[in-house]
Amino acid sequence: MEVKIDPQWKKVLQKEFSANYFQQIPHHLRTEKSQGKIIYPPGSQIFNAFDTTPFDKVKVVILGQDPYHGPGQANGLCFSVKKNIRIPPSLINIFKELKDDIGLSMPSHGDLTHWAQQGVFLLNASLTVRAGEPMSHAQIGWAQFTDAVIRTISMQKENIVFLLWGRFAQNKITLIDTTKHFVLQAAHPSPLSAHNGFLGCRHFSKTNEYLVGHKIEPIDWTI
């Protein structure tokens, strides 16, 4: 399968794209579509995180679980939605923390493309999902692929900030060389858990303090 993706990522992940497990993913998606299943995000946006944040631009990694599974929500960037879509509860809590941490007012939309363009790699562990069925594509090969992505970033880059929110993301710490990267962990921003340590974590200011301390341009967290 020919993968349409940013050339830098295509080069560093070539081994994964040619692996048998990866070849099965498009077959699985085509089969489901032929059965009338609706899959998010649209095909052109499955690799949006990679296309918006080329490999050499990555400064920060935020890891999500899988795409939003409601109509029109997913845009290929974790936690992000298209501009005309209602802001989901987890993202509202992210914006609340931004306000408390660095004083940003609540945005009018939830499109995080501006972050991604600056080097915030917004990666979901699964890059697709069936409509209305969270985690429905967790076992079709995406997890193996995105684990390899995290491992590749860890091995080939240095001084990356990894923001691991919630137990699922925190389990990925085994893929990261913590001796040369900065890992921040907190509860998931979901309304079910945000009050257990996400709100008040100050990850956004801590991220920029680390970047500036390593002579790396900080992130403008406005959207």
pLDDT digits (tens, 9 = 90+) for 110-135: 999 999 999 999 999 999 999 999 99
What stretch of H or E contains 69? none
Rounded Cα distance, 189 and 195, in Å: 8
Q: What is the pLDDT of residues 61-102, one digit of tens each?
A: 999 999 999 999 999 999 999 999 999 999 999 999 999 999
Beta bridge partner(s), residue 133: 130
Beta bridge partner(s), residue 9: none
Percent of the residues in the chain that have a pLDDT greater than 90, as a whole number: 98
Whole-number pLDDT of residue 87: 97
Of the given ranges (1-15, 34-48, 198-212), which has the lowest mean pLDDT? 1-15
Mean pLDDT along residues 188-210: 97
What does the DSSP 8-state code read for residue 60? E
Whole-number pLDDT of residue 25: 96
pTM for the model: 0.96
Other CB atoms within 10 Å distance of the CB of residue 19: 15
The mean predicted confidence, pLDDT, of the chain is 96
Whole-number pLDDT of residue 209: 98
Give the angle subtended at the CA of 125 by the CAs of 210 and 215, to the nearest 5°.
15
Rounded Cα distance, 202 and 186, in Å: 10
Counted residue by residue, the chain has a size of: 223
Chain centroid, CA 1 distance in Å: 23
Mutual orientation of helices 89-102 and 203-213 as an angle, nearest 10°?
60
Whole-number pLDDT of residue 2: 57
Rounded Cα distance, 109 and 87, in Å: 6
Q: What is the pLDDT of residues 151-162, one digit of tens each?
A: 999 999 999 999
1, pLDDT greater than 60: no
Which residues are annotated as catalytic?
66
Whole-number pLDDT of residue 192: 94
Q: Which two tokens mark 167?
A: 């137990």
- Let me know: does 159 contact 133? Beta carbons within 8 Å: no
Half-sphere exposure of 184 (CA within 13 A, CB side): 21
Rounded Cα distance, 118 and 196, in Å: 29
Q: Which two tokens mark 69?
A: 């599974």
Rounded Cα distance, 14 and 85, in Å: 35
Whole-number pLDDT of residue 85: 95
Whole-number pLDDT of residue 4: 78
Rounded Cα distance, 54 and 63, in Å: 16
